[in-house]
Amino acid sequence: MSYDLGAPVPLATTVRDASGAPANSGNMRLTITLPDDSTAVVDPVAPSSTGSYAYSYPTTQVGRHSVRWLGTGANPAAYTDVFDVRPASSLMLFSLADGKAQLDIPATSTGDDDELRRFIEATTAAVEYFVGPVVPRTVEQVVRGDRVAWVLHTMPVMSVTAITPIQTWQQAVDPADLDVDTETGILRRTDGLIFYSGDYRVAYRAGRTAVPPNVSLAGKLILQHLWRTQYGAARGPSIADDVSVTDPIPGFGYAIPNRALELLQNDRQMGGFA
């Protein structure tokens, strides 16, 4: 289950005795291991009713969290689970409202909103594999000096925000002194000199300020295709209609419908985007 950063996560477990009836443990301890391997411990956790334990955990870090309930003494018990915390800035090609409109889901129907957002994020990753980053994000890359140009691996490049020398003896490079080819990711010095020796960490923004209509529509067709896995055999039209897939695509199998791939052709990057 995924939760937004800052949202409380409802955690719960139930303890039963040897006969299967709800029963309290002598002591219940809750340990949450955060993505940075630090822990949050609640000891003891009082039962909200016989055998039922609950705790609302306020999220502070992005990433995978593990949960460990441990009851000791009378009626010992243990339960382990995980949950994920999403970044405050999510990589979504289009809004939840746009996704619901494509799927003909009424705006007032909110029961699938969290799951649909995950589908949109997966759709975004599929689209960006072909056309490079669409949603703006910060990328870091280490490059070597003593060259006339640097080539960044993630395009299109929106701007270079920082260049940090890795070795202490290196000379600094001011991003204001660079010519940036946004489409090819090639950086050159405007004074005509080569880049100084040593390794540098380049931080830059990659993505697009506006989403091309063909890319947005391709994403919505992919979402529509993937969302049909939620329907089951008794719901929805046949998969072999306007979003059909007749040829497997390397790396994606049959996950990308034909018309979506056709819409992306003019914006495709060679070799995909990693």
Q: Can you tell me the mean pLDDT for 34-51?
A: 98
Give the model's pLDDT for residue 90: 83
Residues 114 and 239 in one domain: yes
The residue out of 174, 206, 238 marking a domain boundary is 206
Give the model's pLDDT for residue 274: 38
Please report, as a single letter, which amino acid is at residue 246: T
Q: Can you tell me the mean pLDDT for 191-201?
A: 93
Strand order in the sheet with 63-72: 2-4, 77-86, 63-72, 27-33, 39-42
Please report, as a single letter, which amino acid is at residue 254: Y
The 10 Å Cβ neighbour count of residue 190 is 9
- When divided into structural domains, the chain yields a total of 3
Residues 70 and 125 in one domain: no
Q: Can you tell me the mean pLDDT for 57-63?
A: 97
Domain holding 6: CATH number? 2.60.40.10
Residues 54 and 163 in one domain: no
In a domain, 188, yes or no: yes
Note whether 2 and 84 are within 8 A (CB). yes
Identify the domain containing residue 11 by its residue range: 2-86
What SS3 state is found at 126?
Answer: helix
Residues 7 and 80 in one domain: yes
Asked whether residue 248 carries a pLDDT value surpassing 90, the answer given is no
Which range is least confidently modeled, 67-71, 207-211, 237-241? 237-241
Distance, CA of 263 to CA of 268 (rounded, Å): 10
Q: Can you tell me the mean pLDDT for 185-196?
A: 94
The residue out of 52, 86, 120 marking a domain boundary is 86
What SS3 state is found at 216?
Answer: helix
Residues 125 and 224 in one domain: yes
Asked whether residue 78 carries a pLDDT value surpassing 60, the answer given is yes
pLDDT 10s digits, 13-24: 999 999 999 999
Residues 15 and 80 in one domain: yes
Distance, CA of 198 to CA of 145 (rounded, Å): 5
Residues 49 and 142 in one domain: no
Q: Can you tell me the mean pLDDT for 179-197?
A: 94
Mean of all residue pLDDT scores within the chain: 90
What SS3 state is found at 166?
Answer: coil
Asked whether residue 108 carries a pLDDT value surpassing 50, the answer given is yes
Q: Can you tell me the mean pLDDT for 60-72?
A: 98
Residues 48 and 64 in one domain: yes
In a domain, 91, yes or no: no
